[in-house]
Chain A
Amino acid sequence: MKKIFWLAVVISIAAAFFASTHPDGLDFAAAELSFAEKGQDRTAPMPDYSLQFLPKGSVSTSLAGVAGILITLAIFWLAVYILKEGSKKMVKSKVFLFLVCVFYILYFSFNFSPAFAARPLVTDDFYTVAQGGYELEMGYASTQNQASLANVTTLSFKRGFLPNFDLGIEVPYTSSSPAGFNDILLHAKYRLFEQNGDEGMTARVDFKFDNGNLSQGLGSGDNDYCLMLIYSKMIGQTKVHLNFGHVNVGINAGIQSDDYIAYTAALEYPAWGEKGDIVAEYAANNANFSPNPAFVQFGARYCLASTFKIDAGYSFGLNNLTLRNSLTAGIHWEF
């Protein structure tokens, strides 16, 4: 059996180097009878048997061919597994989960569509992640408070389920002492209206899980809900975003707190045209127990590739509540 596998690998590599590049029978007939233009191009993880992160050519094609052989074999291995172990056990198994994850990353990582970065801003914009698209953001922030220093890495992952609806999860991890996970945030965004892509309004619902260990100083000790309205408008070249949210603070772990209203405003100016912009924002709230006092942030974002951005920001508190200053840097990737 192994010999057959190696024969297939050899054939696919040889095909990459020596196969004819002329159109095949159907394509030839289509060109001859001029209906070839009716064909629609589509995207796939490895279109035209080439890996997209390598320059087009024989090496790329031979690797894609080997990948195809492995995918084909994996389907039959999976069939044996299902027939042996039963489909229920398969769905539960970690191997299957891993394969599904690999498939999803492979399959969707190349079908990208434009979306928009929020990082480093706290203020959100009205855009939602494109349908079927994914957005991954990772940021590192070092925040100096009145009493302490906290280094937090936040991973945020969103998926667009409809043209105007996305769901996301945000997981912050504190690496300074005390180290551990902070409260995880889930959010859903639904775009209410949009005009010419430069004006729009979106509603967002956040749910914050109290999974941080408060006794170690992580998380707020509350399950919070937040309903937020987001309005964005382009004035000249500058994008203006306004957020207005009502936060329902749950009472948990014996901490008395009240609901509050949070409001933020942000400006984005395309200082490098399509490539990058500079941003500024102001954020405040009327909470009497203040988890998030007023602050101002300045930052910049730059596109390294059409779907990959890096960003950095500096923010400082406007009052003497908690935040003094904070530095952040991160990445934004759409796929």
Chain B
Amino acid sequence: MHIPDGFLDPKISIGMTGAAVVVFGYSLMRVREAVTALRPAEVLAAAGRGAGNVAGSVGRVLTGDGERAIYKMGMVAALVFAAQMFNFPISQGTSGHLIGGVFSAVILGPFAGTIVISVVLAVQSLFFADGGLLAMGANIVNMAFFGTIAAYYIYYFLKKLIPEWMAIWAAAWAAVPLAAFACALELGFSGTIPFNQVIPAMVNVHVVIGVAEALITLALVNTFRTMLKGEGQP
């Protein structure tokens, strides 16, 4: 679902880039808070800095758990990148591939998951010409916001009602048509193709792709949890 350059109107591209900056920036802030801790005042004093600076950036240091969390994000990102290369066949000469948003959000939390998917999308666009440069903002909004944060909250609420694996299944399935719907709206607003044609076309095919996404997500979540169990991490 990587939109190439040329599909979107410049106004939509710029707007989506702005939205992506907000989404990514907010996620980055949340993750930074989670992986760092306030530097103790006595350390700051020893370094010659007053207590007034504690609230500033100099006051935060990376914690040991935070460092491990970032390495874990890297591993999830590598896994998502590899899994996105694997196009599986769908009927009628179509294929689909994993988005991985729900997988990374379930493992890492919604904001770290968004960062992981955004980084994967940026690497794909910059190094592999997969997804446009101007369209990167739109791709991040579609897959790293709707396919990750929005889908995570579906999982979050369903988890309270049904067993976790079913919640993962449902959220991962819903993430794909949701992202496809957002993508179709962007294409429609760009004037590339009328809404009444693009929305059914995109949503129909991605409802099917979503089934595979859900199965792969379940498999990946179980694999990841099993593999990291021995290393003392959930």
Contacts and interface: CB of A to CB of B under 8 A. Distances in A.
Partners in one complex: yes
B1 A15 contact: no
Q: Is the interface of B mostly helix, strand, loop or mixed?
A: helix
A39 B14 CA distance: 17
Interface stretch (B17-25, B47-55, B122-130, B148-156): B122-130
Interface string A14-28: 111011111111101
Contact of B202 (A9, A23, A29, A77): A29
B81 A75 contact: no
Interface string A36-55: 00111111111111000000
Interface residues of B, number: 67
B3 A26 contact: yes
A65 B82 contact: yes
Contact of A24 (B71, B87, B129, B192): B87
B128 A4 contact: no
B211 interface: no
B141 to A, nearest CB: 14
A226 B53 CA distance: 52
Interface extent on A, as a size class? 35 or more
Contacts of B32: 83
Contact of B89 (A20, A25, A61, A67): A20
Given A35-B7, A44-B127, A79 B70 contact: yes
Contact of B223 (A7, A12, A61, A83): A7
B35 interface: yes
A78 B208 CA distance: 38
A68 interface: yes
Interface string A199-231: 000000000000000000000000000000000
Enumerate the 3 nearest inter-chain pairs by beta-carbon distance, A residue then B residue, closest first: A76-B74, A44-B129, A20-B95
Interface of A: 1, 3-5, 7-9, 11-12, 14-16, 18-26, 28-30, 32-33, 35, 38-49, 61, 64-65, 67-69, 71-73, 75-77, 79-80, 83-84, 106-107
